[in-house]
Structure 1
Amino acid sequence: MEIAKLHQLFLNCNAANTDTRKIKLNDMFFSLKGENFNGNKYAAQALDLGAKYAIIDEPEFKTTDKTILVENVLKTLQNLATYHRNYLKTTIIALTGSNGKTTTKELINTVLKQKYNTTATIGNLNNHIGVPLTLLSMTKKTEVGIIEMGANHQKEIDFLCNIAQPDFGYITNFGKAHLEGFGGVEGVIKGKAEMYNYLIKNDKTIFVNLKDPIQIEKTRNANTFSFGTNKANINIKFIKASPFVFCTLDEILIKSKLIGAYNYNNIAAAMAIGKYFKLENDIIKKAIENYTPTNNRSQIVKIDSHNIILDAYNANPTSMQAAILNLEKQSGNTVAILGDMFELGDEAKAEHQNIANLAESLDIDLVIFIGENFYRAEIKSIKFKSFDDFKNEYDIKSIKPSTILIKGSRGMALERILPLF
């Protein structure tokens, strides 16, 4: 079926859906396939559960005129998303980066929704499936779409940009993340900068942090709107992070609920984008000050006499370094519970040793390492090969009242530590 005709059918549906467990009445179900599943087998079930149409790519599963046969379901989902994006003509802001992109996306959305009807990526649905689903969740009421793009190899950001066709873009930073897939730090820079290449080629606007020399270098021939220094378009300044980030916007003091100096750039980017979209300073101030982090990202959790910095959603060498340097600055007794960092490939051994060396060199009262990579490192501190070993062998209640950093990659799921208190 032609995309234009399929789009007409989609406009009469409630939403795009790829999971029969979340089907709602009048959804359009896309029968995606993976290594261990075949969504075509669930097409009939989706219709029984209330889906208006089921998109399939295997003829034997066409049982009714509500099952629509296409050559490739995934490609159809992506093409439909691009068609829908152009049909709506919604302003699209895309962002990627090694660290902080989800927090930055949430902050941008928090600011812009004060004036505009916005749709933003939900959670971390930021890949070749999540981006199309986000685009298809937009309606004629959506004035600004905020699309987070994740990647772990070359050409992925370029591919996502061609689906979403953004009008604006921002890259949070270029750090040591997904080194295995990108092939080292230079590969990370090349891969993330694919967003810049798309925006420059299409004469779009890039938001730039002038404190980042890589951002400056990669956007020399671009339309830019900047923040970060006295030479920038917007006057934003860092004041302190003790532990919450304080900064100013045009000399107006803003007190955020985000901890760590590393979150300043995320806040500054959201404020700069708010200014570009003509929001008043007092509205931006209120939005930033009311934002509270969730989903295990720099959350402050109070348990008994402990202040816990729960940053267990993800980790890489760049974000881990920033988090433990921030912990050292906190007053009182400090504890770092650090879990393995994933997707580092050949660099895993060296990067875990580097983090271990740094953590042990800082003025942190207690450091505990969890995970096979840290366990293999040369470490004087307490270490455990697995979370279960930590849980079974360490009495966490023996820790005196402290500020406690809990950080590790998603696969470590270190939020499981909280119930142990």
Structure 2
Amino acid sequence: MKIQNIYKLYTTSSGIEINSKKVKKGSIFIALKGKNFDGNQFADEAISNGAILAIVDNKKFASYKKRIVFVCNTLYFLHELATYHRYQLHHIPIIAITGSNGKTTTKELITSILSKKYQKVHCTKNNFNNHIGIPLTILSMPMNTQISIMEIGANHEKEIEKMCNIINPDYGYITNFGKAHLEGFKSIEGIIRSKLELYDFLKKNKKIVFINGDDPIQLSNSIGMNRYIFSGEEKIKSNINVKYLYVKNNLKSSLYIKNIKIISSLIGNYNLYNIASAVTIGIYFKVSLEKIKKAVEEYVPNNYRSQILKKNNVKIIIDCYNANPTSMIKALTFFNHIKGYKIVILGDMLELGFFSNYEHEKIISFLKKSSINIAFLIGDIFFNTKETSDKIKKFINKKNFVKCMKKYSIRNTDYILIKGSRKIALESLICLI
């Protein structure tokens, strides 16, 4: 079957599914392969569960009688189908967001703001920002979408370039360039080159880029592009001037734009640029500042990103959806300036490769010099570091930490910061505090 024929069938289907157990009646099942599974084996099950078509890349499982169609590569087919769908909806503006930290928070803030003007706003759901999630997100975009915000994640070079060719964004923004996925990028230079693939696409296609003028990497690499700049520096020639409010011991992030004060529920001054970029994009799309202010102040973070919870008179800052050296240091620097008795519970930072031990040692060096009273470090990387001190307690896993929790008066404190990589899942410890 040609892509046009399958696409025509897709437009009357109930959507695309890659999990045979979640197949909806009338959907199309695409059999993807992974390290520990082969979706081809579940094509029959998908048809039995109500799929009108199954796409496989193993001829052994193909059967035209059962509506199971063979293609050379199912992942490539998924990309091709998403690209074709985007071509049909080329009139819908898409904003692409990438960067090392803050992508999801920025995307959600932009979505909240633009929803004050547009009734049909489409965006990346959950963490669907990789080579599988992005085409699925494109294919979930309804025909009546007015604007879309898409998040691009990457752990190696050329991935953002490839995703841009599927998304075909009209606008783009890079949150920052931090030490994330060093195992795949090999160096900070590799990270920068990777993120700038978004600029390369936008420049080549004469599209618009939003720029944080306080970031010299963004500023210097966007020269000659069609750009819209926000900045907190008066010396920077910008479209939007921002005044950031850094107030010690204030957990909420605040800023002024055009003399209007915006107070966000997001924790930490490290979120100020995320807020400012979303506000800037809202202004560009002619959302009134009053509505922008309302959208930002109504936004409540979830998914363990910059959340605050009060329990047993302890304020718990939950920022454990993910962690890398850049985001960890930013969170700890902010936490260090808060007054009171403070405890941190930190989990390993993963996917750092050769740099792993060095970056974990740097975190411990920071903790030793900080005003943080006790640091609980969880995971075999932290556990095997050499740096230590009386206030640093290391545990090889969460199970060992839980066993020893009773020895320490965690509840007799003012603030607790919980942060670590997603696989560590430190949120499971909240109920024990």
Name the TM-score class by shorter chain.
over 0.9
Query: What aligned pairs does 1:259-270 form with structure 2 within 5 A after superposition?
Result: 259-270=267-278
CA shift in 2, pair 1:396/1:154, >3 Å:
farther
Determine the C-alpha separation between the residues in 1 that align with 2:258 and 2:25: 48
Shift of 1:355: 0.8
Contact 1:396–1:420 (CA under 8 A) maintained in structure 2: no
Query: What aligned pairs does 1:17-56 form with structure 2 within 5 A after superposition?
Result: 17-56=17-56
* Residue in structure 2 matched with residue 323 of structure 1 by the alignment: 331
Aligned counterpart in structure 2 of residue 387 of structure 1, from 398, 411, 430 = 398
Query: What aligned pairs does 1:354-369 form with structure 2 within 5 A after superposition?
Result: 354-369=362-377
Shift of 1:303: 1.2
Query: What aligned pairs does 1:81-230 form with structure 2 within 5 A after superposition?
Result: 81-89=82-90, 90-116=92-118, 117-229=120-232, 230=234
Q: Secondary structure at the match of 1:35?
A: coil
* Residue in structure 2 matched with residue 411 of structure 1 by the alignment: 423
Which amino acid in structure 1 is aligned with residue 43 of structure 2?
Answer: A
**For structure 1, which runs of at least 5 residues remain unmatched after alignment?**
none
Are 1:234 and 2:235 counterparts? no
Which amino acid in structure 2 is aligned with residue 382 of structure 1?
Answer: K
Shift of 1:249: 2.0
Determine the C-alpha separation between the residues in 2 that align with 1:250 and 1:17: 46
Q: Secondary structure at the match of 1:395?
A: helix
Shift of 1:110: 1.0
Shift of 1:47: 1.5
Determine the C-alpha separation between the residues in 1 that align with 2:22 and 2:115: 26
* Residue in structure 2 matched with residue 68 of structure 1 by the alignment: 69
Shift of 1:304: 1.1
Shift of 1:367: 1.6
Shift of 1:418: 0.8
Shift of 1:115: 1.4
The superposition leaves residues 159-181 of structure 1 with CA deviations (integer Å, 9 ceiling, x where unpaired) of 11111111111110001111111
Which amino acid in structure 2 is aligned with residue 8 of structure 1?
Answer: K
Which amino acid in structure 1 is aligned with residue 98 of structure 2?
Answer: T
Determine the C-alpha separation between the residues in 2 that align with 1:68 and 1:194: 35
Which amino acid in structure 1 is aligned with residue 28 of structure 2?
Answer: M
Per mean C-alpha deviation after superposition, the further-off stretch among 184-193 and 43-52 is: 43-52
Shift of 1:62: 2.7
Q: Secondary structure at the match of 1:7?
A: helix
Contact 2:25–2:49 (CA under 8 A) maintained in structure 1: yes
* Residue in structure 1 matched with residue 4 of structure 2 by the alignment: 4
* Residue in structure 2 matched with residue 275 of structure 1 by the alignment: 283
Shift of 1:318: 0.5
Contact 1:32–1:39 (CA under 8 A) maintained in structure 2: yes
Determine the C-alpha separation between the residues in 2 that align with 1:19 and 1:249: 45
Per mean C-alpha deviation after superposition, the further-off stretch among 381-390 and 79-88 is: 381-390
Shift of 1:397: 6.6
Shift of 1:59: 2.5
Determine the C-alpha separation between the residues in 2 that align with 1:383 and 1:290: 38
Which amino acid in structure 1 is aligned with residue 219 of structure 2?
Answer: I
Determine the C-alpha separation between the residues in 2 that align with 1:23 and 1:65: 16
The superposition leaves residues 336-364 of structure 1 with CA deviations (integer Å, 9 ceiling, x where unpaired) of 11111111111111111111111221111
* Residue in structure 1 matched with residue 252 of structure 2 by the alignment: 244
Contact 2:104–2:151 (CA under 8 A) maintained in structure 1: yes
The superposition leaves residues 228-260 of structure 1 with CA deviations (integer Å, 9 ceiling, x where unpaired) of 233311132212351100111211011110010
Q: Secondary structure at the match of 1:256?
A: strand
Shift of 1:58: 2.1
Determine the C-alpha separation between the residues in 2 that align with 1:373 and 1:148: 29
Which amino acid in structure 1 is aligned with residue 169 of structure 2?
Answer: P
Q: Secondary structure at the match of 2:8?
A: helix
Q: Secondary structure at the match of 1:382?
A: strand
Report how many residues are paired: 421
Q: Percent identity?
A: 45
Which amino acid in structure 1 is aligned with residue 413 of structure 2?
Answer: P
Shift of 1:331: 2.9
The superposition leaves residues 38-89 of structure 1 with CA deviations (integer Å, 9 ceiling, x where unpaired) of 1111112111111121112222323325222222211111011011011012
**For structure 2, which runs of at least 5 residues remain unmatched after alignment?**
none
Q: CA RMSD in A?
A: 1.3
Q: Secondary structure at the match of 2:382?
A: helix
Contact 1:131–1:149 (CA under 8 A) maintained in structure 2: yes
Determine the C-alpha separation between the residues in 1 that align with 2:197 and 2:44: 40
Which amino acid in structure 2 is aligned with residue 272 of structure 1?
Answer: T
Determine the C-alpha separation between the residues in 1 that align with 2:346 and 2:60: 50
Contact 1:88–1:139 (CA under 8 A) maintained in structure 2: no
Which amino acid in structure 2 is aligned with residue 406 of structure 1?
Answer: I
Contact 2:21–2:49 (CA under 8 A) maintained in structure 1: no
Query: What aligned pairs does 1:305-384 form with structure 2 within 5 A after superposition?
Result: 305-377=313-385, 378-380=387-389, 381-384=392-395
Contact 1:300–1:309 (CA under 8 A) maintained in structure 2: yes
Which amino acid in structure 2 is aligned with residue 67 of structure 1?
Answer: I
Contact 2:380–2:397 (CA under 8 A) maintained in structure 1: yes
